[in-house]
Amino acid sequence: MEKFAVLGCGVVGSGVVELFEKNKALIEKRSGKELEMGYILDLRDFPDRPYANLLVKKIDPILADPDVTVVAECMGGVEPAFTFVKQCLEAGKSVATSNKELVAAKGDILLKTAKEYNVNFFFEASVGGAIPIIRPLHKCLAANDFSAIAGILNGTTNFILNKMIKENMDFSAALALAQEKGYAEKDPTADVDGHDACRKICILSSLAFGKHVYPESVHTKGIREVALKDVELCGKLGYSIKLIARVQRLENGKILPTVMPMAVEEDNLLSQVNGVYNAVMVRGDGISKAMFYGRGAGKFPTASAVLGDMIEEVQLDHTIPSQTWENVNSTDFIEDFSAFSAKRYIRTSAADAAVLREVFGDLTLEQTTDTGEAVLVTETSMNAAQVERAGEALAQKGIKLLAEYPVLVS
Amino acid sequence: MEKFAVLGCGVVGSGVVELFEKNKALIEKRSGKELEMGYILDLRDFPDRPYANLLVKKIDPILADPDVTVVAECMGGVEPAFTFVKQCLEAGKSVATSNKELVAAKGDILLKTAKEYNVNFFFEASVGGAIPIIRPLHKCLAANDFSAIAGILNGTTNFILNKMIKENMDFSAALALAQEKGYAEKDPTADVDGHDACRKICILSSLAFGKHVYPESVHTKGIREVALKDVELCGKLGYSIKLIARVQRLENGKILPTVMPMAVEEDNLLSQVNGVYNAVMVRGDGISKAMFYGRGAGKFPTASAVLGDMIEEVQLDHTIPSQTWENVNSTDFIEDFSAFSAKRYIRTSAADAAVLREVFGDLTLEQTTDTGEAVLVTETSMNAAQVERAGEALAQKGIKLLAEYPVLVS
């Protein structure tokens, strides 16, 4: 018999307890062992819950109980989660976490601690909620030299953009609806400004390329400034504006992680990912490309991923130190955003074709709106400096560059 | 140092050797050990290949070499693959196979043998080529009670249907093109008649529901009879005809596996899976739904999956007996196809709305073609007997039921 403990009895933590109790027989069969939920740590009281008798307010009884072999951390935030997780690992207990903030900030340290104490630190639930992506990347696709990962990793912003695309809501109205439905927090900063997606692409980049990528190294732009007009016009040109978290490996061997709204072609499956769903497209030399799709958040989807880690820990019989990546104390392997180059969707204040072609070169598509504005997609890739220079060249002709989005290559 | 051996030096086997040599440094880093390709078994000679010195014509030296810890089986077919794999397992070597025919026919026996000899029998490459689906189903999603799996599991038929949908080719022309491109065999029976997809849904069903499902228990229908006319008309109603391999768990607890062309709604991501790509949608009580997408076949995609298994075996340090399902020597847990019920796309020889509504009840959509025919999608689910009775009722009114496809619920 093995005992589980859960840290944090919020949405995800209570989901772990409830899904475990619901599917206990199945989970025990698949684990090959008898299992028991032993403790739930939370400062709050939940006297009416059926599992109220399991609640504890301190980490100590969990650390002290030798029968507890696997701990789920579902508290969120860096502290006290980091301290508790480290204590658990040092006490010889493996940990499965859903906490992307913790993994993005302290993953290297916790992976090292886990290895030192011969236990596992798992974090499948930290990226993409229910979507299996950590284990596939680390195991199933381990024979691949990865070249790029691109994903819709934040359900809240995807819900908002989707409402803008499909129902012509503007950003504020769509955000208010997301808050009403409980998809967005009262303070939506972490989601709409891209910080949440940034943490997740840090984790995927670290795993794919073997060195810890910190959030500070990632060029991160959210969706606050996405205008309904561009969503509509982009759509007419055959593109959807999506918040894309992405990392690519450049020819110089460095990697370039970004989070920003991008124009995604209609025949790219990522453009078809709607509502609160997430998806991750992975490119490698063996597989060409593969995509993973599912619910990126929510009580039971996230609990499913946490429990999947806990079950594997039991199946593994606690013998396998988990994956690791290096803390290189350097960002030399990360390319500066100035090197980022892509075709661009552009909106300008006037539709003078001759001038636009002079400034942007060949254009695949062009269209004049009823206000006299032009929208186009360039045929050549441009970096930020080139876009800026193009804006200056246009200004000299009295034309304003009103909006621009990089195009995601499928 | 650990030694690998590969059985079969065809497309997949040579892919395993070449991808391993290409990414050896990366694979060794991720495995945590030095690795060596030791043997390649094939009856043929390949004197010009760079690895010609590794070729052997008998299994004996592989069985006799204690340094060989992991064997990749890429021969295809049940024999002699079954005999060789069993001998390897009994000799204490773990096996990774890409051979779906072998797993569908003998998976239960080989899993039992692997457990007996404390080695692993892995088969990630047997379903969906490059797509990680076996390990995600077995590990990441192990906390879920599964209710259904539906997939496009055969790239050849998806390529053919796609050509019919997008370029108005008829079946014969599209098949000829697939053969020309090397996607279809000279004898295309295994693909176009659904046998290949059937083997794969057997494997996924066995894994998800824990009991071996043999191909003989699966209602299997291919795409030979799919008329271009129905592909077009179905498209106008907002559906794509796809060859769907599916298993669902019914309310009585039994499972119902099927392979047949189905009408897939446009807002279901499976309808957007084009060309030779495969995709698998999984439904479970924790995740709601998740989808896995990628190249379903081909040299390096399949090799990537085989090597992923081999790498995990090394990471695991050979200590973990792999997943298993029961051989129950019974088909009691499998429901008869007569119980299968779904909404239907229907084409009839005449468009008498009153008669059609009398026979089929409420219809969501209806359209008259230029030949006077009608196409419709029923609002109620019908089983095969009900469709047959509807056909008889129509015949009494002088109307022919010309075609029908079950609708896949997203």
* Nearest Cα residue to A230 out of A77, A365, A347, A60: A347
CATH fold of the domain at A341-408: Alpha-Beta Plaits (3.30.70)
Cis status, amide bond into B80, omega within 30 of 0: yes
**Ranges under pLDDT 70 in chain A:** 319-323, 365-367, 410
CATH fold of the domain at B340-408: Alpha-Beta Plaits (3.30.70)
Task: Give the model's pLDDT for residue A365.
Answer: 66
Arch. (CATH architecture) of A134-295: 2-Layer Sandwich (3.30)
B390 with B360: CB under 8 angstroms? yes
Determine the distance in angstroms separating the CA of A301 from the nearest CA of chain B, rounded to an integer. 4
* Nearest Cα residue to B227 out of B37, B389, B402: B402
- Sequence-distant (6+) residues with CB within 8 A of B24 are B35
CB contact under 8 A, A27 and B143: yes
CB contact under 8 A, B142 and A272: no
- Sequence-distant (6+) residues with CB within 8 A of B254 are B332, B333, B334, B335
Cis status, amide bond into A80, omega within 30 of 0: yes
CB contact under 8 A, A317 and B316: no
ipTM confidence: 0.93
Arch. (CATH architecture) of A2-129+299-315: 3-Layer(aba) Sandwich (3.40)
Determine the distance in angstroms separating the CA of A132 from the nearest CA of chain B, rounded to an integer. 6
Task: Give the model's pLDDT for residue A352.
Answer: 87
Neighbours of B161 (CB within 10 A): 22
DSSP states along A258-280? EEEEEEEETTSGGGG--TTEEEE
CATH fold of the domain at B2-126+299-315: Rossmann fold (3.40.50)
Residue of B nearest to A12 (CA): B286
- Surface-to-core class of residue B307, CB atoms within 10 Å of its CB (0-12 exposed, 13-18 middle, 19+ buried): buried
Question: Among A143, A294, A316, whose Cβ lies nearest the Cβ of B291?
Answer: A294
| B200 tagged catalytic | yes
B296 with B129: CB under 8 angstroms? yes
Amino acid at A27: I
A406 with A343: CB under 8 angstroms? yes
Chain A residues in contact with B130 by the CB 8 A cut-off are 286-288, 290
Task: Give the model's pLDDT for residue B320.
Answer: 67
Mean pLDDT value across residues B39-61: 94
Give the Cα separation of A215 and A197 in Å (integer).
10
Chain A residues in contact with B308 by the CB 8 A cut-off are 139-143
Give the Cα separation of A285 and A272 in Å (integer).
25
CB contact under 8 A, A145 and B305: no
The SS3 assignment for B371 reads: coil
A259 with A201: CB under 8 angstroms? yes
Give the model confidence (pLDDT) of A235-255 as tens digits: 989 999 999 999 999 999 999
| Residues of A taking part in catalysis | 200
**What would the two tokens of residue B110 be?**
């080989």
CB contact under 8 A, A291 and B292: yes
Domain boundaries, chain B: 2-126+299-315, 134-295, 340-408
Kindly state the percentage of chain B with pLDDT values over 90.
85
Determine the distance in angstroms separating the CA of B286 from the nearest CA of chain A, rounded to an integer. 5
Question: Among A27, A286, A312, whose Cβ lies nearest the Cβ of B139?
Answer: A312
Task: Give the model's pLDDT for residue A32.
Answer: 87
Determine the distance in angstroms separating the CA of A394 from the nearest CA of chain B, rounded to an integer. 39
CB contact under 8 A, A286 and B132: no
Per DSSP, B138 falls in state: I
Mean pLDDT value across residues B340-355: 93
Chain B residues in contact with A289 by the CB 8 A cut-off are 294-295
A283 with A146: CB under 8 angstroms? yes
Residue of B nearest to A305 (CA): B140
Question: Average pLDDT, whole number, for chain A?
Answer: 93
Per DSSP, B131 falls in state: S
Amino acid at B190: A
Question: Among A23, A140, A292, whose Cβ lies nearest the Cβ of B135?
Answer: A140
Stronger pLDDT, B318 or B158, i.e. the higher one:
B158
Helix (H) or strand (E) holding A392: helix A384-396
Give the model confidence (pLDDT) of B234-261 as tens digits: 998 999 999 999 999 999 999 999 999 9
| pLDDT at residue B326 tops 80 | no
| pLDDT at residue B25 tops 60 | yes
DSSP states along B234-274? HHHTTEEEEEEEEEEE-TTS-EEEEEEEEEEETTSGGGG--
Give the Cα separation of A255 and B7 in Å (integer).
37
B13 with B72: CB under 8 angstroms? yes
Chain B residues in contact with A291 by the CB 8 A cut-off are 291-294
Task: Give the model's pLDDT for residue A23.
Answer: 97
Lowest mean pLDDT among A131-140, A291-300, B105-114, B322-331: B322-331
Determine the distance in angstroms separating the CA of B225 from the nearest CA of chain A, rounded to an integer. 28
> What pairing do the DSSP bridges indicate for beta strands A382-383 and A401-408?
unpaired
Task: Give the model's pLDDT for residue A316.
Answer: 81
Chain B residues in contact with A305 by the CB 8 A cut-off are 140
Reported confidence tier of residue B331, pLDDT bands at 50, 70, 90: confident
| Residue given tokens 């924790």 in the structure block | B286
Residue of A nearest to B316 (CA): A320
**What would the two tokens of residue A359 be?**
């400034």
The SS3 assignment for B31 reads: helix
Preferred mutation among B131, B302, B304, B322 to probe A, highest tally of A CBs within 10 A = B304
CB contact under 8 A, B290 and A295: yes
